[in-house]
Amino acid sequence: MNRTLKQLPEHRRRIRKRYGILLLLIILFLYLVLGAVAPFLWYKTVSERTPVSLEAERPGEEAFCDRAMLLETNRSAWEERLRLFGHAKERIILSTFDMREGESTRDILAMLFHKADEGVEVKILVDGFSGLLRMEGNALFYAVSSHPKIEVKLYNPVNILLPWKTQGRMHDKYVIVDDKAFLLGGRNTFDYFIGEYDLENNSFDREVLIYNSAWGTKKGEESSLYQIEAYFNKIWEQKECRLFHDDEGLANRSSVQKERRALEERYKLLQEKHEELFQAYDYGKATYPTEGVKLISGETGIYGKEPLVFDQLCQLMERAESQVVIHTPYVVCNEAMYTELEKLAKGTPDIRMVINSIENGDNLVASSDYKRNKGKVVATGISLFEYDGGTSTHGKSIVIDRNISIIGSYNMDLRSTYMDTELMLAVKSEELAEELLWNMAQIEKDCRRVVSATEYETPEHIKVAEIPNWKKAALWILGILLKPFRCLI
């Protein structure tokens, strides 16, 4: 009895200690989660509309210097990157949300490393989240960053001790080469999106390549290339961007030296196996003429943003006389976005949106929200279609009245609208729009039309994949848990 009484205080101390640890863990969890979400819980509105004009200013009937090409396949994305890099003389800029180790990445870096050896100035900008997860500790990326003619920066490097900064992400994807050309779209820099190294695990996406046909002349200064380069320079100089291991001393490490030799050998192999990419190429013949090109961008800071990109897209779609076709991987909206989509549906005779079905998509979080809110999307009046072709489509595109094409990184979701940096490029060209519409139509062949939150019109040839039980449970759980944090989706 006396022994039991003596042990009681010790027992209580152990319980208090356990509760204390649990309380600290709860406080830490709330600090990290609420700190990360807090800057984005209140949706901003557009304080002042940015007018969008596509008509290029040029005297008389003189042709606009920008010409356009659609990059619809992962193979074409790989080829044009290597071709452009191979012909670079002065500077190369690569901006990407996500860069990962892989075969296509090694091809790209081999080209950049060699061009830097030739004296070309190379700048690479990668989002900080990708930098932390994919690049830190990897000798391949150290081999590149330690080159004296290559600068690598991370946008908003992640620091979990400052959770309110962790969700500010740069979602832009583009390449600029000299004053000659740039490409912009939705592809990240790894095998899932570029090249044909992994044909089983890939995604459909698209980009647009703009060729400045008057590069090197005074007229060439009218090119939209300078719009995207000015945008890049603005972000590159922000305090949120930090150099990634800019240390030439890293080149002395044996692991880095090994990667440098591997990049040099890879460049030689690319030259031997793909000689056609290193030969003279007439972009004038491979591209379509345009009547105007406009970069659509928003705020570039790391906190909550005004929905400037969404607003500018809506401005262009509002002017449609007959047709608007929207392709986006998924749709996640708040009431303000639903209202704008409803206005567009009432004002446009034919407006439709194509997204991945829950069965076909590769974004579980976005799918969980769509599953809960599908009825609200249908209620806007936009004709909604779900793609069930088996490979997830990642392209973000809009075609207006068969003569305006808009391509870029913006998803029709809350994160792209209010949180991330995003870019879309609007191009006025009937030829480009027709080609884009044709490619969109190939995707739409494998779509179901959404009639209601539970009903579809399904073509006979479509076989909808079965959702595994684990995925059904995950969709249901995520839909509930993430409802207060929809701003992150």
State mean pLDDT over 213-234: 96
325 and 400 belong to one structural domain: yes
Half-sphere exposure of 397 (CA within 13 A, CB side): 31
**Count of CB atoms situated within 10 Å of the CB of 136:** 13
Q: Is residue 270 part of a domain?
A: yes
What 3-state class would DSSP assign to 71?
strand
Residues 357 and 464: beta-carbon distance below 8 Å: yes
pLDDT tens by residue, 293-317? 999 999 999 999 999 999 999 999 9
DSSP-H helix ranges across 274-392: 283-286, 308-318, 335-347, 364-379
Neighbours of 311 (CB within 10 A): 18
Average pLDDT, the chain: 93
Residues 261 and 362 in one domain: no
Is 19 inside any structural domain? no
Whose CA is closest to 116, among 152, 94, 144, 77?
144
Give dist(CA 424, CA 422) in Å, integer: 7
200 lies in some domain:
yes
pLDDT band of residue 335 (cuts 50, 70, 90) is very high
Token readout for 178 is 């000299």
CA dist 474 and 488 (Å) reads: 17
Do 87 and 156 lie in one domain? The reply is yes
Q: Which residues pair with 125 in a beta bridge?
A: 95, 153
In a domain, 295, yes or no: no
pLDDT at 150: 97
d(CA 161, CA 222): 45
Residue 52 inside a domain? The answer is: no
Residues 426 and 477 in one domain: yes
User: Is the pLDDT score of 16 beyond 80?
Assistant: no
Report residue 21's pLDDT band, with 50, 70 and 90 as the boundaries.
confident
Q: Are residues 73 and 156 in the same domain?
A: yes
Show the tokens assigned to 155: 């946008």
For residues 373-397, one letter each, b for 16 or more C-beta atoms within 10 angstroms of the residue's C-beta and e for the rest, the string is bbebbbebebbbbbbbbebbbbbbb
116 φ, ψ to 5°? -65, -40
Same structural domain, 269 and 337: no
Going from the C-alpha of 28 to that of each of 20, 22, 278, the distances in angstroms are: 12, 10, 54
| Closest listed residue to residue 413, CA positions, set 367, 449, 448, 381 | 367
Secondary structure tally for the chain: helices H, strands E: 14, 18
357 and 281 together in one domain: no
Average pLDDT value for residue range 320-333: 97
- pLDDT band of 9, cuts 50, 70, 90: confident
- Burial of residue 208 (CB within 10 Å: 0-12, 13-18, 19+) is buried
Rounded to two decimals, what is the model's pTM?
Answer: 0.94
Q: Are strands 323-327 and 350-356 parallel, antiparallel or unpaired?
A: parallel
Helix axes of 74-86 and 103-117: crossing angle, nearest 10 degrees:
10
Based on the domain organization, do 240 and 316 belong to the same domain? no
The pLDDT assigned to 6 comes to 54
How do residues 399-445 score in pLDDT, each as one tens digit?
999 999 999 999 999 999 999 999 999 999 999 999 999 999 999 99
Specify the CATH number for the domain of residue 378.
3.30.870.10
User: Is 335 in the same domain as 253?
Assistant: no
- Residues 340-380 pLDDT 10s: 999 999 999 999 999 999 999 899 999 999 999 999 999 99
- pLDDT value at residue 306: 97
Pair of tokens at residue 66 = 């920008």
Distance CA 185, CA 56 (A): 21
pLDDT for the residue numbered 146:
96
Residue 147 lies in a domain: yes
- Report the pLDDT averaged over residues 454-458: 95
Same domain, 210 and 106: yes
Give percent of the chain with pLDDT exceeding 70.
97
Which pLDDT does position 25 carry in this prediction? 82
> Exposed (0-12), middle (13-18) or buried (19+): which is 349, by Cβ within 10 Å?
exposed
Mean pLDDT of 84-91: 98
Q: Which of 285, 316, 332 is the endpoint of a domain?
A: 285
Q: What is the spatial distance between Cα 236 and Cα 238, in angstroms, rounded to a whole number?
A: 6
Rounded-to-integer distance, Cα 412 and Cα 422, Å = 11
Q: Domain total for the chain?
A: 2
Residue 56 lies in a domain: no
For 223, which DSSP code?
A: S
Q: Return the amino acid letter for 460.
A: E
| Burial class of 488 by CB neighbour count within 10 A (0 to 12, 13 to 18, 19+) | middle
Report phi then psi at 340, rounded to 5. Answer: -65, -40
* 8 band by pLDDT with thresholds 50, 70 and 90: low
Considering the domain architecture, whether residues 365 and 411 belong to the same structural domain is answered as yes
CA distances (Å), 282 to each of 117, 211, 399, in order?
A: 26, 10, 27
Domain that residue 419 falls in: 302-488
Domain contains 125: yes
The answer to whether residues 346 and 394 belong to one domain is yes
